[in-house]
Amino acid sequence: MTDGRSTGHGRRTAFATLQRGGLNLDSLPMRLFTKGNARHWNPADIDFSQDARDVADMTEHERWWTCTLAAQFLAGEEAVTVDLQPFVAAMAAEGRLADEMYLTQFVFEEAKHTEAFRRWFDAVGITDDLHSHVDSNPHYMEIFARQLPESLHALAADPSPRNQIRASVTYNHIVEGTLALTGYFAWAKVCSSRGILPGMQQVIKLIGDDERRHMAWGTFTCRRHVAADDSLWDAVDERMQELLVPAMGVVTHTFEEFEGEEPPFAVDLNELAEYAMDKLGRRLGAIESARGADVRAIDVDVAPEQLEERFHAEDLANHPLAAV
Ligand SMILES: [Fe+2]
Ligand SMILES: [Fe+2]
């Protein structure tokens, strides 16, 4: 705070919400928080009984693909639930209450996503150990067991803007913006191939809505750092280059495991990659557009939120199958 008082941990002499103007409800994190509060959903309300019948009717090959996709999501949601905590603490250390508030909702939503996928497995009767669906994929393990936790937990020791960018690019732009998005597209193919898995369809739709806010926050966070220090644009680019190959490897490896055999449900690797790369490129464009901008203007600029809404509208128009 500017008047000599502090809201900082261990040196609190004031409260952010009591200062003149209070919380800025127009700031992007508060807008996302308000939106998320209005869209709460409960994983326990979803009916998976038809999904159980659909899984029972699948061929072995189809069941393997469906299980692999669901296991990759389940483990991924668990990892992002656990690994977001250092970012919450980093926002607290920076005295950014609105971001801290939004991230508490963000963690809660990831926990619900984890619950939803685990409930699906239980409901369709698959309770055996599922590790072989993820740990046979070295790229998956590289991203979820190494790069994601390492870049997020680096914030605990040093929550610098550069480390925040590395963490956000890994979490929001690679894991959520590239891998999860590719996964939604694949789910849409699986579910729409013959109108199956209505419970999973609902899960993907609800999670997709939450994820739009998560990715908007990631774009926003990179934007505010790039606006404050232009040299940090290189950090965005550098982290992206480090992770693009292993990220695409996660997807291609799944296809390679059944070499010679056609993937079921008309899932097409090139179509998936093209879909994800288009979105990734445009999010990077939104971050780049913050170079040289006034940091205070970035705080209330709704561009990252609008970009995700535009993607959703485009999906509804161009890829109705993938419009979650
Ligand atoms: Fe999630
Ligand atoms: Fe997310």
* pLDDT for residue 240: 94
Ligand 2 midpoint to CA 111 (Å): 10
Q: What is the pLDDT of residues 115-136, one digit of tens each?
A: 999 999 999 999 999 999 999 9
Phi-psi region of 196 (alpha: psi -120 to 50; beta: other; left: phi over 0): beta
Q: Is-contact 267 189, C-beta < 8 A? A: yes
The angle subtended at Cα 135 by Cα 132 and Cα 139, nearest 5°, is: 140
Rg for the chain (alpha carbons), in Å? 20
Ligand 1 midpoint to CA 109 (Å): 7
Ligand 2 midpoint to CA 148 (Å): 13
Q: What is the pLDDT of residues 161-192, one digit of tens each?
A: 999 999 999 999 999 999 998 898 889 888 88
Query: Which structure tokens are listed for 180?
Result: 């999860």
Query: Which structure tokens are listed for 185?
Result: 């597209």
Is residue 30 classed as helix, strand or coil in its secondary structure?
A: helix
Q: What is the pLDDT of residues 144-158, one digit of tens each?
A: 999 999 999 999 999
Whole-structure pTM value: 0.94
Ligand 1 midpoint to CA 113 (Å): 5
Q: Which residue has the higher pLDDT, 316 or 291?
A: 291
Ligand with smallest separation from the Cα of 173: 2
pLDDT at 324 over 60: no
Residues near ion ligand 2 (CB < 5 Å) are 176, 211, 214
Q: Which candidate, 298, 291, 244, 251, places its Cα nearest to that of 270?
A: 251
Ligand 2 midpoint to CA 47 (Å): 22
Tokens 């780049």: give the residue: 288
Q: How many helices (H) and strands (E) does the chain have?
A: 15, 0
Phi-psi region of 108 (alpha: psi -120 to 50; beta: other; left: phi over 0): alpha
Task: Please count the other Cβ atoms lying within 10 Å of the Cβ belonging to residue 194.
Answer: 10
Ligand 2 midpoint to CA 57 (Å): 31
Query: Which structure tokens are listed for 210?
Result: 């939450």
3-state percent breakdown (helix, strand, coil) of the chain, nearest 5 = 75, 0, 25
pLDDT bucket at 257, cuts 50 / 70 / 90? confident
Residues shown for the chain: 324
Report the Cα 31 to chain-centroid distance in Å: 18
Ligand with smallest separation from the Cα of 110: 1
* pLDDT for residue 317: 84
Query: Which structure tokens are listed for 60?
Result: 């072995």
pLDDT at 223 over 90: yes
Q: What is the pLDDT of residues 29-68, one digit of tens each?
A: 999 999 999 999 999 999 999 999 999 999 998 999 899 9
Mean pLDDT of 281-291: 94
Ligand 2 midpoint to CA 262 (Å): 30
Cα–Cα distance measured from residue 175 to residue 111, given in angstroms and rounded to the nearest whole number: 16
